[in-house]
Amino acid sequence: QVQLVQSGAEVKKPGASVRVSCKASGFTLSSYGISWVRQAPGQGLEWMGWISASANNTYYAEDLQDRVTMTTDTSTSTAYMELRGLRSGDTAVYYCARDGVAVAGYFDYWGQGTLVTVSS
């Protein structure tokens, strides 16, 4: 069955970077894209960006594009999201989600979420 399993919770200081992983199983990662979505405590869903696993094409949300990098490793079926220059407003649960191979798509499977806490 399709599964996306994310890395564990992180606590970071302001200004630091965080990298979250998302290991895919039950499907061929290179045939899909992966989007990252975050949710601040008690808030709604915010799309962060998309990566095509086959071509490493990316498209980032405009307000994050200077701080975020998404990559994939098809040999291990793992996607990664790195966010730099962390600030308190980046405290959130970060989700990876299976997306289409083209940038415009919806999310049919989700990871379990990774809580990133930014605190001094």
Partner 1 sequence: DIQMTQSPTTLSASVGDRVTITCRASQSISYWLAWYQQKPGKAPKLLIYKASTLESGVPSRFSGSGSGTEYTLTISSLQPDDFATYYCQQYYSYSKTFGQGTKVEIK
From 101, 92, 3, 88, select the one nearest 47 (Cα to Cα).
Answer: 92
Asked whether the CA dihedral 56, 10, 113, 92 is positive or negative, the reply is: negative
Contact flag: residue 112 with partner 1 (CB under 8 A)? yes
> At which residue do the structure tokens 């997306």 appear?
99
Contact flag: residue 36 with partner 1 (CB under 8 A)? no
Instruction: Give the shortest CB-66-to-partner 1 separation in angstroms.
Output: 15
Q: Among 59, 67, 69, 91, which residue sits at the site for partner 1 (rule: CB under 8 A)?
A: 59
Contact flag: residue 47 with partner 1 (CB under 8 A)? yes
**What does the alpha-carbon distance between residue 94 and residue 75 come to, in Å, rounded to a whole number?**
23
Q: Among 16, 45, 88, 119, which residue sits at the site for partner 1 (rule: CB under 8 A)?
A: 45
Q: Among 110, 117, 119, 120, which residue sits at the site for partner 1 (rule: CB under 8 A)?
A: 110
